[in-house]
Structure 1
Amino acid sequence: MKLTIVGGGGFRVPQVWSAVGAPDAPVRIDEVALHDVDTERLGVIAAVVRRLADGVGRPPRLTVTTDLDEALRGADFVFAAVRVGGTAGRILDERTALALGVLGQETIGPGGQAYALRTVPFMVALARRIAAVAPDAWVINFTNPAGMVTEAMRGVLGDRVIGICDTPIGLMRRAARSVARLDGGAAGGAGRAGAVPAAGEFDYVGLNHLGWLRALRVDGVDRLPDLLADDAALEGIEEARLMGADWVRLLGALPNEYLYYYYFTREATARIAGSVTRGEFLADQQAGFYADAAAPGADPLAVWHRYHHEREATYMAESRPEGEGGERHAEDVEGGYHRVALDLMAALTTGRPATMILDVRNGDLVPQLPAEAVVEVGCVVDGGGVHPWPVAPLDGHMAGLMAQTKAAEQLTIAAALEASAELAWKAFAVHPLVDSVAVGRSLLDHYTQAFPELGRALR
């Protein structure tokens, strides 16, 4: 089988290759094709992957190309992880919002909407090429904002495109570890430390980067109330440390870490505005990596490992409350989206069922949202595709936040596809993290000035 990675010069591509190229990988990939438009970055990442292949007995064949159709031809899976505008664009996404006193973040709020306005047209065009060149391929989308991008690509590819994210499964593993500690490390069900509970043993619902773990069952008993009541157990969960034990107890659920930006918007905005943004950090870090890895005599794999640890350990550091330090706890440095992609490919290929949390079509799962909306929910994946399981009713707070955010997302997608400045203004203005219609208009004006090509595209 052939896996094509669009965005093959991206920093985290070696993680995907390591997962699919491992001798014990649950699915056999014969060829990995890396595609990117940046030849220098593509060359560096190819060098890292070749070094990884040195330690594998039968590594997948590696092909590297800037020709999209060549990369797609014959693909069984297409993994999409691109960044339109690069890290320079991400910095503008963040700083433009911050300059107007609004949260500046890559996927949350107006920063994510500006990113989507530039990214959605590109990804829909990519979906059309996939449909033309590799119509039978499964498309795994990790391109941010993942929920909006997946929803837009579904208009071309339907159920053949699936959105993935590693934050829900990371939350699940941390919660399972903490339940196991409550039970003294006892095995069984969700209590296996670090294990993903089976279908029906948990209840997770939301949008990408906006979701809640509402139940975690062991032997049919929901252990989430016990977990929320135990200070020591909550200390082992990054999300509870980030947002506070009292707040997650009041919610009665464990929130996805990105909900910090919704629940502590003022604090997050102030911290990010007064420090180096994540985009600025990554711009410097990635410039250092690609230069160091390409230097004469350098071992690109060793260089990659060094930079990779720093990147994962400082995830969301710009928002972490004072006293938490600059790095995550060691057990939280998982960076597991490559595992999610591998598990998804294995289940679709072998037919062996896997329990996952994925970005899929809503249908009637969440009645407060349109049927075509993409939601993030628990699913069983097998040879027949992706099968979401029913979602328990949402309380008013969760349903309301999801509905308002999804309305802003769908307006953003429509604005991008219809090239409409009016829809873009409305999308900014109705987002729950934008507190004024006038600010929404200013966001549109400032983003079109920051990105002249966006200004030319929007009528």
Structure 2
Amino acid sequence: MRLTILGGGGFRVPLIYGALLGPGNPITSITLYDVSHARLAAIARVLTAQAAFAEGPAPDVSVTTDLTEALTGAHFVFSAIRVHGLEGRVIDERVALEQGVLGQETVGAGGIAFGLRTLPVASALARRVRLVAPDAWVINFTNPAGLVTEAMAAELGDRVIGICDSPAALGRRVLRALGRPAGTARLAYAGLNHLGWLSAVREGEEDLLPRLLASDAALASFEEGRLFGPERLRKLGAVPNEYLHYYYETPDLVRAELAAVETRGEFLLRQQAGVYAALAEPGADPLAIWQSALRQRDATYMAMEGLGERDDAEGGGYEEIALALMMALATGTPTDLILNVRNRGTLPILDDDAVVEVPCRVGADGVRPYPEAVVPGHGVELVQRIKSVDRAVIEAAATGSAAVAMRAMACHPLIDSVPVARRLVAEYRRRLPELAYLR
């Protein structure tokens, strides 16, 4: 079977390839597509070095900057594009901070700007997939993942599935804190991408979550327990996705970002510029260079948010989700995953076409959300409000309306100001050429 990776010159592509080097992998060939020849060449060097350590046959790798060539014959399409690259992420962050609001690539003003410049490209990619590879499954990791998946679903229906590593990593950490191995309990998790809550851990008829919430020591043993603290978690009666920290502690995080020497985007831009330059050097050890950068990237993830260097970094994880998803769809062997899919009545608080992030059963008949997903009462209004923002972003991208884009900004709870929204849209349009379509 053939896998096409859109954004094939991206830094994290070797994670996907590494996951495909194990036994039982259904993928026999991989095509990397990117707009940059240099990035493709650099990442192809890393993959070649990885293949040398494979215990069995490694998938063949080809590279191309021709989209139709990349998609032709694909059984799976993995989308991980970044329109305007990390330079765009830096603009997302800095413009927001200049207006005194949160600068983060998927949450608030930065997430809206990212979506506005990404959706036209993602929708065009979806149309090309529908024409060239109509039977392919599209796995979307392009951020903002829920928003982009919903826009692509307008073209691809249920054959596009969004993935994120955050819910799965949260589940692993919670089970470890409870002293339970992975896969031994059912996790009740629901919400939107980067906006969800784990509200139950069911082992048979028993919910183990109250036991976890009652123990200060257990809560202190994992990332979200330290991030949110015992008092807040007990009041919530649930464990939030780490990205809820941006909503719960907004003023503190804005102050921290304003005081920081560089934003997360600036750190990654600086790091990756060095990595790609080093990978192009003759005689370089591509795998060692990439692995060193990955360790630094993982260790500093969300350090600004008060975690310091992570002592329990999960090291990505999305590649394992992508592999499990492809395996289940290709072989029909069922598996349970938390995915971004169309609602279809799963969450009564949202309409059927809204893309939600919920536990699903994946198998020969595709992806089916479990029916018992519930958003905690305290999160309902926030989920509905953010979904209305998503819909405004989709409308703005489809119509080219700057007024609708401004409405999306103004309606977001982390902005909540028409004058600030007006200034944000104007400045993003000035600094991001991809937003010239907004009139």
TM range (shorter): over 0.9
Q: Report what 1:184 is aligned to.
A: none
The residue that corresponds to 1:401 in the other structure is 382
Q: Secondary structure at the match of 2:9?
A: coil
Q: List structure 1 runs of 4+ shifted beyond 4 angstroms.
A: none
What does residue 26 of structure 2 align with? 28
8 Å CA contact retained: 1:27, 1:350: no
What TM-score does the superposition give when structure 1 sets the normalisation length?
Answer: 0.93
Structure 1 match to 2:310: 328
1:77 is matched by which residue type in structure 2?
A: F
CA contact (8 A) 1:109 1:433 kept: yes
Tell me if the contact between 1:179 and 1:233 (Cα under 8 Å) persists in the aligned partners.
Answer: yes
8 Å Cα contact 1:2/1:31 also seen in 2:
yes
1:10 aligns with 10
Task: Verify the 8 A CA contact 1:127 1:157 in the aligned structure 2.
Answer: yes
Report what 2:106 is aligned to. 107
2:77 is matched with which residue? 78
Q: What's the counterpart of residue 140 of structure 2? A: 141
Aligned position for 2:57: 58
Describe the superposition over 1:330-360 as per-residue Cα deviations: whole angstroms up to 9, x where unpaired: x323310000000000111111111100000
Contact 1:313 1:333 in 2 (8 A): no
Aligned length: 437
Q: CA deviation at 1:130?
A: 0.6
| Residue of structure 1 equivalent to 2:277 | 291
Structure 1 unaligned residues grouped into runs of 5+: 181-190
Is the 8 Å Cα contact of residues 169 and 196 (structure 1) preserved in structure 2?
no
Q: Secondary structure at the match of 1:356?
A: strand
Return the alpha-carbon distance in structure 2 between the equivalents of residues 398 and 131 of structure 1.
36
Per-residue CA distance 1:297-342 (angstroms, 9 max, x = gap): 111011001001001111111222xxx43x101x323310000000
Asked if residue 301 in structure 1 is aligned to residue 274 in structure 2, the reply is no
Deviation of 1:221 (Å): 0.6
Residue aligning to 1:433 = 414
RMSD: 1.1
Separation in 2, partners of 1:417, 1:247? 40
Question: Can you list the C-alpha shifts for 1:225-247, whole angstroms capped at 9, x where unaligned?
Answer: 00011111111221121122211
Whole-angstrom distance in 2 between the partners of 1:77 and 1:419: 31
Rounded to whole Å, the distance in 2 between the matches of 1:167 and 1:395 is 18
Distance 1:376 1:346, change over 3 A: same
Contact 1:178 1:233 in 2 (8 A): yes
Amino acid at match of 2:109: P
- 2: CA distance, partners of 1:250 / 1:261: 18
CA–CA distance in 2 between the matches of 1:234 and 1:294?
45
| C-alpha contact 1:27 1:349 (8 A) present in aligned 2 | no
Gaps in structure 2 of 5+ consecutive residues: none
Task: Give how far 1:435 is off.
Answer: 2.6
**Partners of 1:33 and 1:452 in 2: how far apart?**
29
Distance 1:392 1:126 in 2: 31
1:149-188 matches, within 5 Å, as 149-180=148-179
| Counterpart check, 1:45 vs 2:56 | no
CA contact (8 A) 1:147 1:207 kept: yes
Counterpart in the other structure of 2:222: 237
Q: CA deviation at 1:197?
A: 4.7
Of 221, 228, 242, the residue aligned with 2:213 is 228
1:197-226 deviations in Å (ceiling 9; x for gaps): 56xx22100100000000001232100000
Go from structure 1 to structure 2 and tell me whether the alpha carbon gap of 1:212 and 1:333 turns closer, same or farther (over 3 Å shift): same
Q: Counterpart in 2 of 1:88?
A: 87
Aligned-partner Cα distance in 2 for 1:224–1:264? 24
Deviation per CA, 1:84-116: give whole Å up to 9, x if none. Answer: 010110000001011000001000011000000
Q: 2: distance between equivalents of 1:251 and 1:353?
A: 33
CA contact (8 A) 1:27 1:345 kept: no
1:144 alignment partner, SS class: coil
Partners of 1:52 and 1:90 lie apart in 2 by 29
Task: Verify: 1:263 aligned to 2:248, yes or no.
Answer: yes
Q: Distance in 1 between matches of 2:430 and 2:310?
A: 36
Q: Which amino acid is the alignment partner of residue 401 of structure 1?
A: L
Is the CA contact 1:228–1:245 (under 8 Å) kept in the aligned structure 2? yes
1:254 aligns with 2:246: no
1:353 touches 1:382 (CA, 8 Å); kept in 2? yes
- How far residue 40 of structure 1 moved from its aligned partner, in angstroms, is 0.8
1:272 corresponding residue in structure 2: 257
Distance in 1 of aligned mates of 2:373 and 2:21: 38
Alignment-mate amino acid for residue 202 of structure 1: L
Following the alignment from structure 2 to structure 1, what is the Cα–Cα distance between the partners of residues 342 and 287? 38
Aligned residue type for 1:458: L
Q: Secondary structure in 2 aligned to 1:21?
A: coil
Cα 1:164–1:392 change in 2 (3 A) is closer
1:381 matched residue in structure 2: 362
The percentage of aligned residue pairs carrying the same residue is 53
Aligned 8 A contact 1:205 1:391 in 2? no
Question: Secondary structure at the residue paired with 1:102?
Answer: coil
- Write the distance in 1 (CA, Å) between the matches of 2:18 and 2:207: 36
CA shift for structure 1 position 293: 1.6
- Aligned-partner SS, 2:265: helix
> Which residue number corresponds to residue 417 of structure 1?
398
Instruction: Give the SS at the match of 2:199.
Output: strand
- Asked if the contact 1:293–1:300 (Cα under 8 Å) also holds between the matched residues in 2, the reply is yes
